[in-house]
Structures are given as C-alpha cells and as structure tokens.
Amino acid sequence: MIRGIRGATSVEVDDRDAVLEATAELLREVLERNGVDDLDRVSSAFFTTTPDLVSCFPAEAARGVGFGAVPLLCASEIDVAGALPRLIRVLLHVDTTLSQKDVQHVYLHRAKALRPDLGEAQ
C-alpha cells in the first residue's frame, strides 16, 4: 500500500548549506522512524519551502541521501500572513505495510509547532 508520510523542518537563515543539511536530516529521520530501509519503496517526494527560502532546491539534498531514482518535485508554499518562516516540508509516497495511523510523521526544530498534536511521539 502506498502511504503518505509528512515531515517538516526549519532553518535559521536562507543559506544553501543550511537548507541541504536540514533537508537531509529530515529525510533520514522520516525514513528511520518509518522503517524504510530500501529507497526503491519510495515512489515520489514532494518538497515545499516557505517563500523566504530561495538559496537552493531541497530535492538536491534528497539526491545526496540516495534518492537518485526517485521522482522529486519542489514548490513554494503560499505566503500566508503570520506563518512560520524558513520552513521546509516534504510529502513522501512510500510502499509500506504500515497502516496510515501507524505512519510516523516527523516535525523537527521550529516546525514542531505545526503539529503540536503529535507531542513527544514525533
């Protein structure tokens, strides 16, 4: 079954290295927490960034983590007044035996504020 797995993280500055490092950290956490040890199980990945991040594409970090054959797409989030700045989000489509309720969505750093309902489980 293909399941959607969400994640988000933040950076303090719009810097290429910061965005790539944060994205790689996020992807590794999502994969680890969901037991994805074979990237052939990842059907695709969709990344978004807040409009204040323009230094690079987060998908570039995915290539460095091993997503070479995975279709990747990047887009900019809509610019909502009062939204958290400098966020990177990902939606992975993964072939897994996990039920959707057992999927572990991952929110790191300031992005934890996006999903306070996940509490310490995330």
Indicate which residues carry an active-site annotation. 6, 63, 74, 77, 89, 107, 115
Q: What is d(CA 14, CA 55) in angstroms, rounded to the nearest whole number?
A: 6
User: CA 56, CA 30: separation in Å to the nearest integer?
Assistant: 21
Burial of 104 (C-beta count, 10 Å sphere; 0-12/13-18/19+): middle
- As a whole number of angstroms, the distance between CA 38 and CA 22 comes to 21
Beta bridge mates, 106: 7
Number of residues in the chain: 122
